[in-house]
Amino acid sequence: MAKIHEVTSLLEQLAPLRYQESYDNAGLQTGDANAEVTGVLVTLDCTEAVLEEAIAKGCNLVVAHHPVIFKGLKQLTGRSYVERTIIKAIQNNIAIYASHTNLDNVLHGVNTKIANKLGLQQQRILVNKPSTLMQLVTFVPVEHTEKVLAALHQAGAGNIGAYSGCSFSVTGTGRFTPSEQAAPTIGSANQPEQVQENRLELLFPAVLQGKIMAALQQAHPYEEVAHYLYNLENQNQEVGIGMIGELEQELAEEQFLTYLKEKMSLQGLRYTSIGSKKVKRVAVCGGAGSFLIKDALRQGADALLTGDVKYHEFFDAEGRLMIADIGHYESEVYTKEIFYDAISKTFPNFAVLISEVNTNPVRYTF
Binding residues for a divalent metal cation: 65-66, 104, 328, 332
Annotated binding site: 65-66, 104, 328, 332
User: Which amino acid is located at 250 in the chain?
Assistant: E
In angstroms, the CA 119 to CA 22 distance is 32
Angle (CA) 328-334-338 rounded to 5° is 130
In angstroms, the CA 154 to CA 46 distance is 37
Burial (CB count within 10 angstroms: exposed 0-12, middle 13-18, buried 19+), residue 104: buried
Residues 6+ apart with CB under 8 A from 332: 44, 65, 110, 286, 287, 307
In degrees to the nearest 10, what's the CA dihedral of 300, 305, 306, 312? 70
User: Which amino acid is located at 153 in the chain?
Assistant: H
